[in-house]
Structure 1
Amino acid sequence: MNHPAPPTLHTVTGDLPAGSVTGPALAHEHLVLDLDHKGDGAAVLDPHRHTAAVTTELTALREEFGLGLVVELTCRGMGRDVRALARIAREARIAVVAATGWYYEPFHTPEIDGSSVEELTDTLVQEIEGGIGATGVRPGVLGEIGSHGDTPTAPEAKVLRASARAALATGLSVATHAQLGRGGIAQLELLTGEGLPAHRVSIGHQDLLDDPAVHEELAASGAYVAFDTVGKDGYQSDGARLRLLLALIEAGHADRVLLSCDISRHGYLLDEGGQGYGHLFRSFLPEVRAAGVDDELIDLMTRRNPLRFLTGGNVEEIRA
């Protein structure tokens, strides 16, 4: 009798059986990044200046909380450096999944304007199947595919459609950037309109949108709802995040939740006095537990859900 192959993650250090990840995951992070359009150097995680601090944080989280996986959503035009990611992964002894795709329009690379949806799809598929540049590193997710406002712009819609087609061609899933939480339903409609099942979509930054009805609509469709800016109090208080998360759990959608901190500036690092990658585990999850959420649901939201998202819902090897 033939048995299906166990679900596999493409990580920056090679393929990994999803079932071997026994600790929690951070579902939306940046370990190396350059979004510095203002020239102030704030929105940067430099592969030379900040890698040691990043590695130290991740190592501590592995040792203290069993952190096993980081989904790193720095894509084309965002300062992606998969060689640096591989160094961090090896030194911290944590699996890291790299991404491909394009962020929202202000950060689009030049090929977007002159390319068709089909050509952009081909670009993504080639990178997924052949590796990023000459590194041989294969992306394990499409993300963070961006839009801003309630409706994606024409270039953003083109990228979303190409991402859906590339996901269908390769078996990967799509994680989005919904600027300030807005436009998630429109993103999902574009992605599923290309035939991509909703359970292979994560709609980003929903903890910045104070609208439980939208969260429930997304979750009821089968999409994952990412509460992925935990600790960014300049955008939203963690108290509000907790209220929104509990509402989604109480509506029966804990199996659609993804959690992370979206560290996107070096000032967020512990080394520089920020909340760090561990804010989810050290500060937010204790509040979630205090509100009555048990460890089984915590494991669902922090381990099983991200693995199910990445593998397209193949759960044979992803158990409690």
Structure 2
Amino acid sequence: MTTIPHTPQRLLRTVTGPLAAASLTGPVLAHEHLALDLDRQGDAASVLDPRQHGPAVSRELAALRQEFGLCLVVELTCRGMGRDPEALVRIARESGVAVVAATGWYYEPFHPRADLEGASVEQLTGTLVQEIEQGIGATGVRPGVLGEVGSHGDTPSEPEARSLRAAARAALATGLSVSTHAQLGHGGLAQLDLLTTEGLAPHRICVGHQDLLDDSAVHRRLAEAGAYVAFDTVGKESYQSDQVRLRLLLALLEAGHADRALLSCDISRHGYLLSEGGKGYGHLFRSFLPALRTAGVDEDLIDLMTRRNPTRFLTGASPEED
């Protein structure tokens, strides 16, 4: 009698419940915001108010599901960023697109004083683990990723280092992966060193906003170490042109690291929505991926970057398990 080895089913934790990773047949947006409030100094543009903008967000995602098969959005609004888990549930149900919620702390200017001031790494870790295991507040919505855990500059500040260490320890305790915010692409190597020093495997780390850093050598070092390299601000031309993003991504692919790339648009202001004249969540599919195809990137590599890589990252699977 032949025994067929049993392979445990890998599950994603979404805002509406567990989802089998194998059920994702279309692309994933690896770093987005659907409900957000980054207004600290009267910058009302840096808001995605679910009461005002939620319907437009749902319509955009539903249209992308119909046109491009969008299956999942990784929503990286965390503590201190105006996170709204109940709005994420509504958007997921209205759009038919699964959503993964996040926990952690953004970079220092957005740290809630009550969370970070005087708190040890152990205390911060406890806060994150409790949220992951019991849900966000009274909503019952459980985060499925740690992020976007942030720093700014070439090295994290002391509070940022504490929050990053706490994220690594919470990841080890719960099995979730960590997605970072590297301000304008800087400091990614320092983030990776800090997280791995805590014992977190590189393949469970995604270093954010690397498409804002015009330094292919850094991208290669991150990928060679085993971390994911996020080209996640596609379409944000005021920060970096898509032409430069394309060149940087092609260099990473040519170096043999397609299995380390994650792609997204990081919609973080309501003016980026299609309904307000912006490029929207679909710019990746409508503009950037066609440019990759024109440059000679085949459909298998595009599927790798937009579906298999983010699925593997979220489940904490190693590349050998793809």
How many angstroms does 1:80 deviate by?
0.3
2:297 aligned partner, one-letter code: V
Indicate the residue corresponding to 2:108 in structure 1. Answer: 105
1:142 aligned partner, one-letter code: L
1:146 aligned partner, one-letter code: G
Rounded to whole Å, the distance in 2 between the matches of 1:251 and 1:10 is 33
How many angstroms does 1:47 deviate by?
1.0
3-state SS, counterpart of residue 39 of structure 2: coil
Indicate the residue corresponding to 2:191 in structure 1. Answer: 187
Matched, 1:313 2:309: no
How many angstroms does 1:315 deviate by?
7.0
Alignment partner of 1:263 out of 264, 267, 278 = 267
Indicate the residue corresponding to 1:58 in structure 2. Answer: 61
3-state SS, counterpart of residue 240 of structure 2: coil
Rounded to whole Å, the distance in 2 between the matches of 1:317 and 1:120 is 31
Indicate the residue corresponding to 2:25 in structure 1. Answer: 22
State whether residues 203 and 226 of structure 1, in contact with CA within 8 Å, keep that contact through their aligned partners in structure 2: yes
How many angstroms does 1:20 deviate by?
0.5
Q: Could you tell me the TM-score, scaled by structure 1's length?
A: 0.98
How many angstroms does 1:156 deviate by?
0.1
How many angstroms does 1:251 deviate by?
0.0
3-state SS, counterpart of residue 70 of structure 1: strand
3-state SS, counterpart of residue 99 of structure 2: strand
3-state SS, counterpart of residue 214 of structure 1: helix
Alignment partner of 2:138 out of 134, 137, 141 = 134
1:268 aligned partner, one-letter code: Y
Quote the RMSD (CA, aligned, Å): 1.1
Call closer, same or farther: CA 1:212–1:314 in 2, change over 3 Å: closer
State whether residues 102 and 145 of structure 1, in contact with CA within 8 Å, keep that contact through their aligned partners in structure 2: yes
Rounded to whole Å, the distance in 2 between the matches of 1:309 and 1:248 is 18
Unaligned 5+ segments in structure 2 are none
Alignment of 1:225-236 (within 5 A): 225-236=229-240
Post-superposition Cα deviations, 1:269-312, rounded to whole Å, max 9, x if no partner, equal 00000010000000000000000000000000000000000001
Rounded to whole Å, the distance in 1 between the matches of 2:120 and 2:321 is 38
State whether residues 6 and 316 of structure 1, in contact with CA within 8 Å, keep that contact through their aligned partners in structure 2: no
2:49 aligned partner, one-letter code: D
How many angstroms does 1:314 deviate by?
5.5
2:176 aligned partner, one-letter code: L
State whether residues 203 and 318 of structure 2, in contact with CA within 8 Å, keep that contact through their aligned partners in structure 1: no
3-state SS, counterpart of residue 137 of structure 1: coil
1:45 aligned partner, one-letter code: L
Please say which of residues 299-308 and 36-45 is displaced more in the overlay. Answer: 36-45
Alignment of 1:6-21 (within 5 A): 6-21=9-24
Call closer, same or farther: CA 1:69–1:316 in 2, change over 3 Å: farther
Indicate the residue corresponding to 2:300 in structure 1. Answer: 296
Indicate the residue corresponding to 2:246 in structure 1. Answer: 242
How many angstroms does 1:37 deviate by?
1.1
Alignment partner of 2:178 out of 159, 174, 178 = 174
Rounded to whole Å, the distance in 1 between the matches of 2:315 and 2:67 is 26
Indicate the residue corresponding to 1:285 in structure 2. Answer: 289
Alignment of 1:133-212 (within 5 A): 133-212=137-216
Q: Could you tell me the TM-score, scaled by structure 2's length?
A: 0.97
How many angstroms does 1:40 deviate by?
2.9
Unaligned 5+ segments in structure 1 are none
| Identity across the alignment (%) | 75
3-state SS, counterpart of residue 152 of structure 1: coil
